[in-house]
Structure formats: structure tokens, C-alpha cells
Amino acid sequence: MNLKQRIAEFISRYHDKNLSTFSARDGSEGHYEKGDIYVQAVISPLETWGSPQQSPYEGQIFELNTKLARLSATTTYGGSGSKYQSINEDSFFYGHSDQGTLFCGVVDGCGGSRSGYLGSRIATETLATQLISSPLSSSLFMADKNVNQYAQGGYATGVALVMTPEKKITLSSKGDCRALTIRQQEILRQGSTEPHNPVYDAIQRGELPPQAMHTAKNRNVVSSIIGDVELPVYESQFAGEAGDQIIIASDGLWDIVTEYEVLQLAQKLKGENLQRSLYHLALGRNSSAYPYMIKFAPHQDIVMPAMIQSNGHKRGDNITIQVIEIK
């Protein structure tokens, strides 16, 4: 069974018939709108033989403006330094229910080119459709089950947000996609997720310095995935406030842009302007043929190796960023 047939099976078995228009059958942008319900999902399309192709949404800005917040999002395969060539296994979604609840998220496919793409797509479509009427915990559980059943051994990492009309926010994540909340010019830890990563665990135990998140050789290893219900979920809840900015992104951002650098930009920029600045910063570094520096702390720089190495090997990742600015 090829990839397209597997996706068709997933759609026919899982999707509510009322949401059939949401799923673009070639795997591209999905859009569903009915009454006060709105859902948007952005997923790279497929070639006719079932392999991912370059997304027509490369670098495009997607926006949502509700009574609760403004959202700005974009994705890229990663530019000239991407190890994925022109393929983007990241995907993202956003929308709101008829009750006014806002939801959004970023998903990063893993487990090989074709199966990673499939894991990303299935997780994204499941979360986007489930969150219309289901809590985040059960929606993520369903994404785990669907990826496990339909993704041909592929899996994904991801982070999702749900905000009620009362601005009660729930964040959930598996793997190294992350959320970071900025409130009153500072990082709000309660509104930020932690990666499922052995390097991060070692840092928490005091066995490695904090900068190892950017320098350790095994920093891209994850200890939880979407596709296995037995693996841990990071979940936090907090009350959102007007002016909060929540940055949700795949590891393509977090690997090469530090929290300190995100904070510095968020202290100057808001909403779409912040999202575009983060996007261009990460994309530029992702395409670097020379070593570059990242600022880990006010007086601490880290020299990072070139993304395009002298032997032609490329190290860059897909990059997806959402910025949610609470009103």
C-alpha cells in the first residue's frame, strides 16, 4: 500500500463525513468553515506517486484574528542548508470552535522521509478536527492512536495550545516542538513547555551545562513522540493575560535560536513582526555556509558549525513558527 492509499484509508476510516471538505486529498492546505467553526491546516502536498513535494505555502504568512488573540504563522523547508532538500515534513493548524475557544499547534514529522511526512499529516489532521469539540488531552490521545495505526512506522513530535473564552490556556507537547510565553518582558515558565529530550533531562539533573541544548551531539534525540500512547505528555495550564506573546515552533527554530534571543526580539516586536523576525533569523542561520554565533545569555555567545559543510553535507531543518498575541 503506497502513501496515498494509506492516507485515503486514514481519511475514510477516521474523518467525520461532515469534515470531508477539510482534508485536501492531495495532502495540501485543508480548510473547513461552518457557522462559527473555523479550521485551517497547512501540510505539504504529495506528488502523484506518493512522495512529499515542496509546499506551495513556502514562507507564506497565515493569520487568524479573533476576540481572544491574533495569530501569525509560517513554515519553510529550511532554505539552501536544509537536509530535506525542498521537502517540508513540518505542518501546523489553527482555528476556533463555535464556543469561541482558540486552538493551534505545530507538528514535526519524524522517522524517515515518507513515513515522517505521514506521521506529521495524520497528527495535524487529527488534532485540528478533534479540537473543534474535544479537550486537548483526548485529542492528543487520538492523534497518538491514529499515527500509530496509519503512519507506516512514521511518527511525529508536536505542541498544541487551547485557549478558552476566559483565557484559560492549556499547552501540551510531545518531543522537541516547544512553546515559550513572554509576559511583561520576561519568560513565563508556567506558560512554556519542556522538551522530551535526554540532554534536557541531564541539564535538569545538573550533569550538563544549559548551553548543551545547542551543542550536545545527541540534542536532537527525543524521548516522547506522537504515535505512542505510553510515552509521556508535557502539559501545563495557566491564565493568559492581555499582551502575552506565545511562540510555538518546531525544533528547526529552537535548535538555532536561543530563548534569550527570542526574548530580546519579543521585547521589541509584537505579533506578525515578531514572527517574521524569528523566521528570517532562523532561515538565515539555517542556510549558513560558515560558522555563526548565537547569543545564549547577555555575555555568552556560542559558535555554531556551518549548516552547509565543506563536503556539501547539509544539517539544516524544516522551520515552522506560530506567534499568538493575546488581546
pLDDT of residue 1: 46
pLDDT of residue 39: 83
The fraction of the chain above a pLDDT of 70, given in percent, is: 85
Domains of the chain by start residue, with CATH: 34-43+57-326 (3.60.40.10)
Q: For 42-51, 174-183, 215-224, 303-312, which range has the lowest pLDDT when averaged over its residues?
A: 42-51
pLDDT of residue 26: 39
Predicted confidence band of residue 150 (pLDDT cuts 50, 70, 90)? confident
pLDDT of residue 15: 47
pLDDT of residue 49: 45
- Residues 80-104: tens digit of each pLDDT: 999 988 888 999 999 999 889 999 9
End-to-end alpha carbon distance in the chain:
47
Distance CA 284, CA 276 (A): 12
Predicted confidence band of residue 301 (pLDDT cuts 50, 70, 90)? very high
Distance CA 147, CA 126 (A): 9
Identify the CA nearest to 89 among candidates 251, 247, 265. Answer: 251
Identify the CA nearest to 93 among candidates 23, 153, 36, 186. Answer: 23
pTM metric for this prediction: 0.91
Compute φ and ψ for 175, nearest 5 degrees.
90, -145
pLDDT of residue 9: 55
197-224 mean pLDDT: 95
* Averaged confidence pLDDT in the chain: 88
pLDDT of residue 54: 67
Query: Greater confidence, 156 or 12?
Result: 156
Identify the CA nearest to 29 among candidates 96, 88, 82. Answer: 88
- Most confident range, picked from 10-19, 26-35, 252-261: 252-261
Predicted confidence band of residue 174 (pLDDT cuts 50, 70, 90)? very high
205-229 mean pLDDT: 94
Q: For 36-45, 130-139, 149-158, 200-209, which range has the lowest pLDDT when averaged over its residues?
A: 36-45
- For residues 22 and 29, the answer to whether their CB atoms sit within 8 Å is no
Q: In DSSP terms, which residues pair with 68 in a beta bridge?
A: none
193-203 mean pLDDT: 95
| Rg for the chain, CA atoms, rounded | 18
Q: Is the pLDDT of residue 291 over 60?
A: yes
Q: In DSSP terms, which residues pair with 158 in a beta bridge?
A: 107, 174
pLDDT of residue 22: 44
pLDDT of residue 115: 79
Phi-psi region of 325 (alpha: psi -120 to 50; beta: other; left: phi over 0): beta
Distance CA 63, CA 61 (A): 7
pLDDT of residue 116: 86
Q: Is the pLDDT of residue 17 over 80?
A: no
Distance CA 160, CA 5 (A): 28
Identify the CA nearest to 142 among candidates 254, 261, 16. Answer: 16
56 burial type by CB count under 10 A (0-12 exposed, 13-18 middle, 19+ buried): exposed
210-216 mean pLDDT: 95
